[in-house]
Amino acid sequence: MAMDTNAPSIVPSQPLPSAPDDLAVWKTKLFAHIGGRQPNALQTVLPALQAYPTDPELLLLAVIAGLLDERPEQSLRYLQRFTKRYVPFTVEDQLLRAIALAQRGMWAQAAHLVKQHGAYALNSAIQHVPCGWQLMSWFHGWVRKIEREAQRRHTAVPVATKKSAVPAATRPRKASKTSLVAAATVPALLTEGPTAADGKAVASEANAPPLPRYNIQLPLAVQLPEALDTQLALATQPGSDTDSALFCLRHEWTQLRLLQGFDELLCLPTLHGVETYWYQVEAVRKVLKQFHGRVLLADEVGLGKTIEAGMVLKEYLLRGMAEHILILTPATLVGQWQEEMATKFDVLCATSYEALLRQDPSAFWAQPRVIASIATARRPEHRELLSSQQYDLVIVDEAHHLKNRATANWQLVNTLQKRFLLLLSATPVQNSLVELYNLLTLLKPGIFKTEKEFRASYMTSGKSRLPANRERMRDLMRDVMIRNTRSLVDVHLPPRHATTLRLEPSAEEAACYQELTRLVREEHQHGSTPQRLALRHLLSAAGSHATTAAATIERYRTAHHVRQGWRTLQTRYAAIQQTSKEHALCDLLERNPDEHKMVFVHHRETLARLAQVMQQEGHPYVLFEGGMSGPEKDAAVERFRTDVPLLLCTESGGEGRNLQFCNTLVNFDLPWNPMTIEQRIGRLHRIGQRRDVFIFNLAVRGTLEEEILSILDEKINMFELVVGEIDAILGEMSEEQDFDELVFTAWVETTEAERPAALSALGERLAEAKGQYEAVKALDEALFGEEFVAG
Amino acid sequence: MSPASASRYRDFAARLLEHDGALVEPLDPEGLEAMLPASVQHTLHAPELVRLGFGAELPPEAQRVSLESDWLDRFGQLLDERGRWLQRVVEVPLPVLSQPERLIEHGLVLQNAIYRLSRVAPAWTRYLILLLRYTAISDEKRVGMLTCGLNLANGSAVDPLVDALLSAALSTEDTAGTNVPADAHLPPDWPTPRLHSAVTRALPARVQAHLHLFLQGMQRRLDRDLERVHAYYTGLRQEAWQRLQRQHTDSARERLRLEAVEREYQAKVADLRQKYDLRVTTGLEQALILTSPVQRLELTIKRRKGERRVTLDWSPLARRLEPPPCEWSYTAEITRVVCDDALHLVSPAGHAPCAQCGKNYCRACQPRRCPKCGQAS
């Protein structure tokens, strides 16, 4: 690239602000100009420098511009101005000086600097130079050139000819235009690789030009103690403490603090309502100590990967090793993650359902702890923002959605800047071993080398799921993967049995429900998003109990401007004295009246109504709801254990308490989210339960709840799945909405005639997801065996 | 927590509570029972009668106290700022040094000067001993304590003597009645800026020494990761290159792929840089000023036509000679270089050539920059 340094100045291609106040804008444009290596860089910088003669960035930009324009004398002048005023971060000034000396033909001095500081240190210093990243190849090229020149001079025999085959750059000479041009072009050719113009020359080379090899020396910058002066003054003032006993005690206290290592986890005492198991604690220790925070957690379903990930997160937070955290999950699991982080780990997170994401995406993603659906995060407008964030910890749930490196999901996670990365998946391999390759490459690029080499080394030709070099592959995988299995961690749970009682509503109940559905559909067509949530709540309340429906309609009427039809409906619901569900419940309770039973309800009004009914019917009971204090809850559970066989509770019922003495559960109403149902069952069906668990579902014919039960029970046999499998199945669904939202949409956005088909289609999708999950489960069991257990 | 740690923790808790007026009784196994005064109850958020268990097995009705529970923080709140600073005078018999010249031979190496022992006489000195906590966080975390000692008479870094000095200071009885003789000529207090400068210069090398193995391990892992990433992307690039060679059409796509590989490689290197980015913070936990008698050895150092008197102290508490002072970096090694101008004693690094112009200069004379080319020190 020949450049005539005496050419008249050319107006820069982009107009620069004239007002001196626009320094930031000015700099942005200068960065673009210089980073893009546009011509006449120095001329472009000078006006800014004249306006701000002592600005350090402008001074360095002027130095770099001078080097790009091959005007090393100017560069050295600005460099001297810079070093007079400022102390460089590391040796970036030496790097610039070395290049300037080389451009002046003072190769010995340039080489001396490179030798003095080391090429590694100089290359590392590039990050402290403005436009360092954009010009990294250029800087590297110069350092290499200086090194090669030094080596050549050390070994070369001088050739005493005027016109020498040796390039001009190697002859000791005075600085000249021609030689400077030559010197400037050589690094570009070597570092920037083949270009379109050089196609011919490039095509003849057998190997690609090598990538620069980086040797990063860990810099050690020690931050001094805070308020050191004050402390030293206190320490040295006359009359300081003479109590050596206290001094010794304090000394001992500081020593004890040092004994906290990763062997003992700090997070354990801080968890709420979490019973941790030895394999989870071991897994967390391994992640922290052995895997340095980059691992694929591939435990079988139901063993608590979320808990393990939460513990790792909490541990890093407590130790001050992570601040900026991103959790990526399928859309169906965002709410669950948020709740678990908040209730179990005291970690409050923003989620991608918040309005801030739409109002100000930049501010949203900059928050310290964010849980987002991966579908949202991968959208182009968000992905760019995410790529600019620096994360300490990224967690990806259901990470098998990253199995294909050509997908936006994989690309997203690959481009995120992160220190620690946890990938969670019970089924990391679904169709082909290449999926495993793609996942592990996210954790440790190059662990299996290139895909081509991986296929050649580890895959059996024609059989994409069969490993060829199983032992070697497992050896490598042990560096990045933990997989706890039920059998090895000795987790045994008894079976669970579900019975759904489909109840005929009274004529009035049925008519009210139909009328409510009609009104909800009408409102929904014209309503806003907040109204949509309220309508969902109405429908849910009507599926729970008539009393709850009446109370909810009243609140809806108060909050929204609605028609007369709502008031009429409210009155009709309030007039319903007894419901079919109440009858059914009382019947159930009279079977084995001494057997402990938990009755779950979703709505508080339903809970209050049931309490009334139990009192009238003479069934002793205990109430448990989220609003009770800790001691009140403990007392309620204790009464349930010792005195009273019936516990009426809301969703929080028994949370964190040992209720395995009970093995019968009644779902009086049904939450729409299967995972909430699973959580209810999980209060009883957990480690420590010795007896089979019996689940009774009460559903009124013609309601949305009946349809949900039909889907969950008949399509995927949910109530007899292994605990945690429903999460995995929902994770297989690629929907961008929660399951509750999907069922609500199917119910209100269709006519009565269309509804069965819409719900059936949803059921089919869920069944398909279950089928996919089961096939994958079998594959992974065969592939991994029990070789990756934490303990 | 190991049984030894549990015992140690229990003993600490017992001593602390007793110091603050609690009645403490041991409780089996590995526990204690304490009756706490009101102020202690308030600080510890504990009832008047409290049972604490420190071992794997808890005494009946005892609260578990582990290193990870918040009890260690509570005890810290009870200590508050007490015990941070201590001033002691320790008087011990001062033996006569039989062969002071031999001591100096083994304790001082002058690279470019000669010395002569002028005098050996009893004296008094003051030592400032700082106990600092450092925390290094990267993708791992390391926490540790280091000590740094200075003889305020001559600026010697007395790190090799610190353990003995601390032990002597803490093991002898409070000698409130010990008075320093009126003719002791104790060294004057160092002004805070001078102390600050000394700590600033002394700390980095000591932290680096403590973290040496940790840094080595990290560097090895970083090097391995860089190598792995380089090999991986080189492989990708080579594959794309070979496709480019073979294909006569669609070469633009392969070129774009080549560029993409390089960009991704740079991004992964940046990722590794971020991953291994190391932050080291320090905190001053405690400081001790120890006044004690010493045998003071006066040396006359000669360099070319100049000469200068310096002193080295022999401590009876540590029974050894201190390292010579380094008037630039406060290192504790024994090799020194004497500068020509002011005859400063500095470590070899303190008289190294300038990185830019190669001129040797004394960093104690010119702490900021090279006198010849202006390069920052």
Q: pLDDT-derived band of residue A194, with 50, 70 and 90 as boundaries?
A: very low
The Cα of A468 is separated from the nearest Cα of chain B by a number of Å equal to: 21
- Specify the higher pLDDT residue, A189 or A167: A167
Mean pLDDT, all residues of chain A: 81
pLDDT at A454 over 80: yes
- Nearest-CA residue of chain A relative to B261? A211
Q: pLDDT-derived band of residue A353, with 50, 70 and 90 as boundaries?
A: confident
- Cβ of B170 and A247 within 8 Å? yes
What gap in Å lies between CA A58 and CA A63, rounded to an integer? 9
Instruction: Give the largest CA-CA distance in chain A.
Output: 117
pLDDT at A603 over 60: yes
Q: What is the pLDDT of residue A201?
A: 35
pLDDT at B334 over 60: yes
The Cα of A325 is separated from the nearest Cα of chain B by a number of Å equal to: 14
Q: What is the pLDDT of residue B21?
A: 94
Q: At what angle do helices A564-575 and A546-559 cross, to 10 degrees?
A: 160
B224 and chain A: CB distance < 8 Å anywhere? no
Instruction: Give the largest CA-CA distance in chain B.
Output: 96
Q: Which range has highest mean pLDDT (A126-140, A619-633, B61-75, B306-320)?
A: B306-320
Q: Which of A652-656, B45-49, B250-254 has the lowest mean pLDDT?
A: A652-656
For the entire predicted model, the pTM comes to 0.61
Q: What is the pLDDT of residue B185?
A: 81
Q: What is the pLDDT of residue B43?
A: 92
Interface of B with A in 268-287 (CB under 8 A): 268-287
Contact A232, B152 (CB under 8 A): no
- Cβ of A446 and B231 within 8 Å? yes
Q: Count the neighbouring beta carbons within 10 Å of the beta carbon of residue A706.
A: 18
pLDDT at B250 over 80: no
The Cα of A297 is separated from the nearest Cα of chain B by a number of Å equal to: 18
pLDDT at B216 over 80: yes
Q: What is the pLDDT of residue A191?
A: 27
Q: What is the pLDDT of residue A261?
A: 63
Contact residues, chain A, for B355 at CB < 8 Å: 94, 113, 116-117
User: Which candidate, A535, A531, A530, places its Cα nearest to that of A353?
Assistant: A530
Q: pLDDT-derived band of residue B178, with 50, 70 and 90 as boundaries?
A: low
Q: pLDDT-derived band of residue A654, with 50, 70 and 90 as boundaries?
A: low
Contact residues, chain A, for B258 at CB < 8 Å: 193-194, 208
pLDDT at A17 over 50: no
The Cα of A118 is separated from the nearest Cα of chain B by a number of Å equal to: 11
Mean pLDDT, all residues of chain B: 88
- Cβ of B84 and A415 within 8 Å? no
pLDDT at A106 over 60: yes
Mean pLDDT for the stretch of residues A781-791:
70
Contact residues, chain A, for B176 at CB < 8 Å: 242
- Cβ of B139 and A419 within 8 Å? yes
Q: pLDDT-derived band of residue B297, with 50, 70 and 90 as boundaries?
A: very high
Specify whether the backbone of B319 is left (phi greater than 0), alpha (psi in -120 to 50) or beta: left
Contact A399, A428 (CB under 8 A): yes
pLDDT at B23 over 70: yes
Q: Which of A263-277, A657-671, B157-171, B266-280 has the lowest mean pLDDT?
A: A263-277
- Cβ of B19 and A244 within 8 Å? no
Q: Any idea of the CA torsion for A758, A761, A763, A765, to the nearest 10 degrees?
A: -140
Q: Count the neighbouring beta carbons within 10 Å of the beta carbon of residue B209.
A: 11
- Specify the higher pLDDT residue, A628 or A646: A646
B134 and chain A: CB distance < 8 Å anywhere? yes
- Cβ of A241 and B241 within 8 Å? no
Degrees, nearest 5: CA angle A609-A611-A612: 65
- Nearest-CA residue of chain B relative to A207? B238
> Could you report the predicted ipTM of this complex, rounded to two decimals?
0.89
Mean pLDDT for the stretch of residues A767-775:
79
Query: Going by C-beta distance under 8 Å and a sequence separation of 6 or more, which residues neighbour residue A215?
Result: A119, A120, A123, B223, B226
- Nearest-CA residue of chain A relative to B275? A419
What gap in Å lies between CA A153 and CA A109, rounded to an integer? 13
Name the DSSP class of B225: H
Q: Which of A505-509, B116-120, B192-196, B249-253 has the lowest mean pLDDT?
A: B249-253
**How does pLDDT run across A318-338, given as a tens digit for each residue?**
888 899 999 999 887 788 899
B374 and chain A: CB distance < 8 Å anywhere? yes
pLDDT at A484 over 60: yes
**How does pLDDT run across A613-627, given as a tens digit for each residue?**
999 988 899 998 877
**How does pLDDT run across A397-429, given as a tens digit for each residue?**
989 889 888 899 999 999 999 999 999 988 787
Which tokens sit at A241?
Answer: 């403490």
Specify whether the backbone of B3 is left (phi greater than 0), alpha (psi in -120 to 50) or beta: alpha
What gap in Å lies between CA B206 and CA B333, rounded to an integer? 12
Which tokens sit at A308?
Answer: 């393990």
Mean pLDDT for the stretch of residues A132-136:
84
Q: What is the pLDDT of residue A753?
A: 84
- Nearest-CA residue of chain B relative to A388? B267
The Cα of B98 is separated from the nearest Cα of chain A by a number of Å equal to: 34
Q: Count the neighbouring beta carbons within 10 Å of the beta carbon of residue A156.
A: 11
Q: Which of A65-74, A366-375, A722-731, B192-201 has the lowest mean pLDDT?
A: A722-731
Q: Could you tell me what percent of chain A has a pLDDT over 90?
A: 28
Q: pLDDT-derived band of residue A657, with 50, 70 and 90 as boundaries?
A: low
Query: Is residue B134 within a helix (H) or strand (E), and if so which, with residue range?
Result: strand B114-137
Mean pLDDT for the stretch of residues A671-675:
80
- Cβ of B240 and A88 within 8 Å? no
- Specify the higher pLDDT residue, A747 or A207: A747
Task: Select the residue of A221, A250, A446 nearest B84 (Cβ to Cβ).
Answer: A250
What gap in Å lies between CA A668 and CA A650, rounded to an integer? 10
Contact residues, chain A, for B231 at CB < 8 Å: 446, 449
Q: What is the pLDDT of residue A542?
A: 92
Query: Going by C-beta distance under 8 Å and a sequence separation of 6 or more, which residues neighbour residue A512?
Result: A542, A546, A549, A569, A572, A573, A576
The Cα of B235 is separated from the nearest Cα of chain A by a number of Å equal to: 6
Mean pLDDT for the stretch of residues A598-624:
92
pLDDT at B346 over 60: yes
Which tokens sit at B186?
Answer: 């104790």
Interface of B with A in 162-201 (CB under 8 A): 169-170, 174, 176, 189-190, 192-193, 195-196, 199-200
Task: Select the residue of B82, B128, B144 nearest A246 (Cβ to Cβ).
Answer: B82
